[in-house]
Structure 1
Amino acid sequence: MLLVDHRKAGLWLPTGGHVDPGADPVQTVRREVREELGIDAVFAAEPVAPSFVTVTETTERAEYRHTDVSLWFLLVGSGSQPLVPDMREFAAVRWWTPAEVRSADPARFEPHIRRFLAKVAQREPAHATD
């Protein structure tokens, strides 16, 4: 799983962004992947649909606090598209195995990441989750 150490959030999380009012979430994924990683989004399955949906209360100062509803899409990567991450937004970018995520400090990750990994593991062959 590709995760970014997001400077503003202070957490390891998947790349993403906000869907503008009236915008198509799939087109938002395509735009954000291009902006944040410098590659084209390749979705893992057709028809394209979120694999996971989460609702999280942010922990910002009270006047900025809000509820994030996140649509999680599965993408596939390959060495044919070298990553060009936006390092103004990220302190680091790296690939993590599910075992590495499970053994790391959960406080350093997006709060739903382990649930997401468990859901993906239910869909994939056993070798894809180790």
Structure 2
Amino acid sequence: METTRHFVATVYVVHDGETALHDHEKLDMWLPPGGHIDRDELPHVAAKRETREELGLDVDLLAPQEDITSSTVESIPQPQHFLLEDINVHDGEVGHQHVDFIFYGEADSRNIGPGDGEAPADAWEWFSPADLDAASDRLPSDVIEIGKRAIETVEAE
């Protein structure tokens, strides 16, 4: 079986010491906002777009950017993490994976207003670090770990 890979961008959105997650129906797991990067799109731009579409919130990304430029290169905002995620596994073989550019973002409110076709506002929950730990029976361990790191990083800014 050939493995296909798609590039995706994810944002752990933080406001007032908590991060927003929802139960993703298609993947059957709790996740932050994110989605596929369009062919003509850069990862940090996709991250902000996906957050706007899914939460109706604009975020400031905490994304380091190096000071490297020339006539042919430009440094772009860097994700906090890169993950390779198995999405479709059958009989021990991986059919599809996501190469995930994971960003941390700070929102200035919790007023969730998703776009058409997105999970409704009441499908989203805000989790503190203690809430993340307490929900270990329903949240993937990487979501807990990265969620706590995002909260810590944003709160330290």
Instruction: Please classify the TM superposition score into its range, dividing by the shorter chain length.
Output: 0.7 to 0.9
Q: What is the match of residue 83 of structure 2? A: 54
Which of 16, 19, 28 is the equivalent residue of 2:37? 19
- Whole-angstrom CA distance in 2 between matches of 1:122 and 1:76: 12
Q: 1:37 aligns with which of 44, 51, 55?
A: 55
More helix by share: 1
Among residues 74, 94, 100, which one is paired with 2:104 in the alignment? 74
The 2-side partners of 1:20 and 1:52 are apart by: 19
Partners of 2:64 and 2:79 within 8 A in 1? no
Query: Which of 90, 100, 112 does residue 83 from structure 1 map onto?
Result: 112
Q: Identify the match of residue 130 of structure 2 among 78, 88, 99.
A: 99
Q: CA RMSD in A?
A: 3.2
- Whichever structure has more strand as a proportion of its residues is 2
Aligned with residue 112 of structure 1, among 142, 147, 157: 142
TM-score using structure 1 length: 0.74
What does residue 12 of structure 2 align with?
Answer: none
Q: Which structure 2 residue ranges, 5 or more long, are not aligned? A: 1-18, 66-76
> How many corresponding residue pairs?
125
Higher mean C-alpha displacement, 3-12 vs 37-46: 37-46
The one-letter code matched in structure 2 to 1:50 is: P
CA distance in 2, matches of 1:124, 1:23: 25
TM-score (norm 2): 0.63
Corresponding position of 2:71 = none
1:54–1:112 CA contact under 8 A, matched in 2: no
Contact 1:8 1:89 in 2 (8 A): no
Q: Which runs of 5+ in 1 are unaligned?
A: none
